[in-house]
Amino acid sequence: MSIKRFFIPLAAVALLLTAGCRSQRDAARTQPATPVDSGTGVTVSPRYYTTNFTCSAQGMTATGQIRMAADSIIWLSASKVIELGRVRFTPDSAIIYAKVMGRCFSGTYDDLYRRFHYRTSFKDISETVTSDDAPELLSSLARQFGIAATFTLEPWKRVDQLTFPFAVPDNVNPL
Protein backbone atom coordinates (compact mmCIF):
# COMPACT_ATOMS: atom_id res chain seq x y z
CA MET A 1 0.00 0.00 0.00
CA SER A 2 1.38 3.41 -0.90
CA ILE A 3 2.07 6.11 1.64
CA LYS A 4 -0.43 8.35 -0.15
CA ARG A 5 -3.18 5.76 0.34
CA PHE A 6 -2.21 5.42 4.00
CA PHE A 7 -2.53 9.17 4.54
CA ILE A 8 -6.21 9.08 3.57
CA PRO A 9 -7.16 7.44 6.91
CA LEU A 10 -4.89 9.88 8.76
CA ALA A 11 -6.49 12.83 6.98
CA ALA A 12 -9.85 11.35 7.92
CA VAL A 13 -8.68 11.16 11.52
CA ALA A 14 -7.75 14.84 11.39
CA LEU A 15 -11.27 15.50 10.19
CA LEU A 16 -12.62 13.23 12.91
CA LEU A 17 -10.90 15.44 15.45
CA THR A 18 -13.09 18.18 14.06
CA ALA A 19 -16.27 16.11 14.21
CA GLY A 20 -17.10 17.04 17.79
CA CYS A 21 -19.15 13.90 18.40
CA ARG A 22 -20.40 14.71 21.90
CA SER A 23 -22.45 11.49 22.16
CA GLN A 24 -19.17 9.53 22.36
CA ARG A 25 -17.66 11.68 25.08
CA ASP A 26 -17.58 11.16 28.81
CA ALA A 27 -18.69 14.05 30.94
CA ALA A 28 -15.41 13.92 32.84
CA ARG A 29 -12.58 15.59 30.96
CA THR A 30 -9.01 16.15 31.94
CA GLN A 31 -6.87 18.92 30.59
CA PRO A 32 -3.11 18.59 30.77
CA ALA A 33 -2.25 19.08 34.43
CA THR A 34 -1.72 22.68 35.48
CA PRO A 35 1.52 22.72 37.49
CA VAL A 36 1.67 24.14 41.01
CA ASP A 37 4.81 25.89 42.25
CA SER A 38 5.93 23.74 45.18
CA GLY A 39 7.53 26.71 46.98
CA THR A 40 4.46 28.94 47.01
CA GLY A 41 1.60 26.56 46.29
CA VAL A 42 0.44 29.01 43.61
CA THR A 43 -0.86 27.61 40.33
CA VAL A 44 1.55 28.33 37.50
CA SER A 45 -0.02 29.53 34.27
CA PRO A 46 0.19 26.72 31.68
CA ARG A 47 2.19 27.45 28.57
CA TYR A 48 2.78 24.61 26.18
CA TYR A 49 2.05 20.91 26.14
CA THR A 50 3.18 18.10 23.87
CA THR A 51 2.47 14.42 23.38
CA ASN A 52 3.40 11.75 20.85
CA PHE A 53 0.89 9.39 19.26
CA THR A 54 0.78 6.26 17.15
CA CYS A 55 -1.99 5.45 14.68
CA SER A 56 -2.40 2.05 13.06
CA ALA A 57 -4.78 1.74 10.13
CA GLN A 58 -5.04 -0.45 7.04
CA GLY A 59 -2.07 -2.56 8.17
CA MET A 60 0.33 0.38 8.44
CA THR A 61 1.48 2.46 11.38
CA ALA A 62 2.27 6.16 11.52
CA THR A 63 3.61 8.22 14.38
CA GLY A 64 3.15 11.84 15.18
CA GLN A 65 3.15 14.64 17.64
CA ILE A 66 0.47 16.89 19.04
CA ARG A 67 1.55 20.28 20.38
CA MET A 68 -0.78 22.57 22.24
CA ALA A 69 -0.68 26.08 23.63
CA ALA A 70 -3.52 26.23 26.13
CA ASP A 71 -6.59 27.97 24.69
CA SER A 72 -4.83 29.16 21.52
CA ILE A 73 -3.46 26.45 19.20
CA ILE A 74 -3.44 22.70 18.60
CA TRP A 75 -0.88 21.44 16.10
CA LEU A 76 -0.59 17.85 14.84
CA SER A 77 2.01 16.30 12.56
CA ALA A 78 1.98 12.69 11.28
CA SER A 79 4.84 10.74 9.69
CA LYS A 80 5.53 7.37 8.10
CA VAL A 81 9.18 7.51 7.03
CA ILE A 82 8.36 10.96 5.59
CA GLU A 83 5.98 13.59 6.89
CA LEU A 84 2.44 12.78 5.78
CA GLY A 85 0.79 16.01 6.81
CA ARG A 86 0.03 18.62 9.43
CA VAL A 87 -3.08 20.00 11.03
CA ARG A 88 -3.42 23.27 12.95
CA PHE A 89 -6.47 24.39 14.90
CA THR A 90 -6.88 27.82 16.48
CA PRO A 91 -10.01 29.17 18.19
CA ASP A 92 -11.24 30.65 14.90
CA SER A 93 -9.66 28.58 12.09
CA ALA A 94 -8.43 25.21 10.89
CA ILE A 95 -5.72 24.20 8.42
CA ILE A 96 -5.37 20.61 7.23
CA TYR A 97 -2.37 20.05 4.97
CA ALA A 98 -2.14 16.58 3.40
CA LYS A 99 1.48 16.97 2.34
CA VAL A 100 1.87 13.63 0.54
CA MET A 101 -1.27 14.33 -1.46
CA GLY A 102 -0.40 17.96 -2.17
CA ARG A 103 -3.77 19.10 -0.84
CA CYS A 104 -4.82 21.63 1.78
CA PHE A 105 -7.91 22.98 3.52
CA SER A 106 -7.76 26.36 5.22
CA GLY A 107 -10.70 28.22 6.67
CA THR A 108 -13.03 28.86 9.56
CA TYR A 109 -14.99 26.16 11.37
CA ASP A 110 -18.05 27.22 9.35
CA ASP A 111 -16.02 26.70 6.15
CA LEU A 112 -14.97 23.30 7.47
CA TYR A 113 -18.60 22.38 8.07
CA ARG A 114 -19.62 23.53 4.57
CA ARG A 115 -16.77 21.54 2.97
CA PHE A 116 -16.81 18.32 5.04
CA HIS A 117 -20.18 18.43 6.87
CA TYR A 118 -18.57 18.25 10.31
CA ARG A 119 -19.66 20.74 12.95
CA THR A 120 -17.10 21.45 15.68
CA SER A 121 -15.21 24.05 17.67
CA PHE A 122 -11.72 24.54 19.04
CA LYS A 123 -13.07 23.61 22.47
CA ASP A 124 -14.46 20.28 21.18
CA ILE A 125 -11.14 19.39 19.57
CA SER A 126 -9.19 20.38 22.69
CA GLU A 127 -11.47 18.27 24.89
CA THR A 128 -11.11 15.25 22.59
CA VAL A 129 -7.31 15.22 22.40
CA THR A 130 -6.81 15.92 26.12
CA SER A 131 -9.38 13.45 27.40
CA ASP A 132 -8.15 10.47 29.39
CA ASP A 133 -10.16 8.41 26.89
CA ALA A 134 -8.67 10.06 23.77
CA PRO A 135 -7.38 6.81 22.15
CA GLU A 136 -10.75 5.10 22.57
CA LEU A 137 -12.69 8.19 21.43
CA LEU A 138 -10.57 8.55 18.31
CA SER A 139 -10.79 4.83 17.48
CA SER A 140 -14.56 4.87 18.00
CA LEU A 141 -15.00 7.94 15.80
CA ALA A 142 -12.82 6.34 13.10
CA ARG A 143 -14.99 3.19 13.15
CA GLN A 144 -18.10 5.32 12.64
CA PHE A 145 -16.55 6.49 9.37
CA GLY A 146 -15.49 3.00 8.26
CA ILE A 147 -11.84 3.36 9.27
CA ALA A 148 -10.34 0.62 11.43
CA ALA A 149 -7.73 2.63 13.32
CA THR A 150 -6.07 2.17 16.68
CA PHE A 151 -4.50 5.05 18.59
CA THR A 152 -2.06 5.31 21.46
CA LEU A 153 -1.09 8.59 23.08
CA GLU A 154 1.77 9.18 25.48
CA PRO A 155 1.08 11.27 28.60
CA TRP A 156 1.02 15.04 28.02
CA LYS A 157 4.20 16.89 29.01
CA ARG A 158 4.48 20.55 29.93
CA VAL A 159 7.30 22.35 28.14
CA ASP A 160 8.52 25.94 28.29
CA GLN A 161 8.86 26.51 24.55
CA LEU A 162 7.37 25.06 21.40
CA THR A 163 7.25 26.06 17.78
CA PHE A 164 4.25 25.47 15.58
CA PRO A 165 5.76 25.31 12.06
CA PHE A 166 3.25 25.39 9.27
CA ALA A 167 4.38 26.27 5.77
CA VAL A 168 2.10 25.32 2.89
CA PRO A 169 3.44 25.65 -0.67
CA ASP A 170 1.51 27.88 -3.06
CA ASN A 171 0.89 25.08 -5.56
CA VAL A 172 -1.32 22.79 -3.44
CA ASN A 173 -4.84 21.82 -4.47
CA PRO A 174 -7.88 22.13 -2.22
CA LEU A 175 -8.61 19.14 0.04
pLDDT, tens digit (0-9, with 9 covering 90-100), for 21-47? 333 333 233 344 445 444 555 444 457
- What integer pLDDT is reported at residue 48 of this predicted model? 87
Task: Identify which of 44, 24, 41 has the alpha carbon closest to the alpha carbon of residue 32.
Answer: 44
Q: Encode pLDDT of 101-113 as tens digits.
A: 888 999 999 998 8
The model's pTM is 0.73
Domain extents in the chain:
3-21+46-153
Q: What does the angle CA 77 – CA 80 – CA 83 come to, to the nearest 5 degrees? A: 45
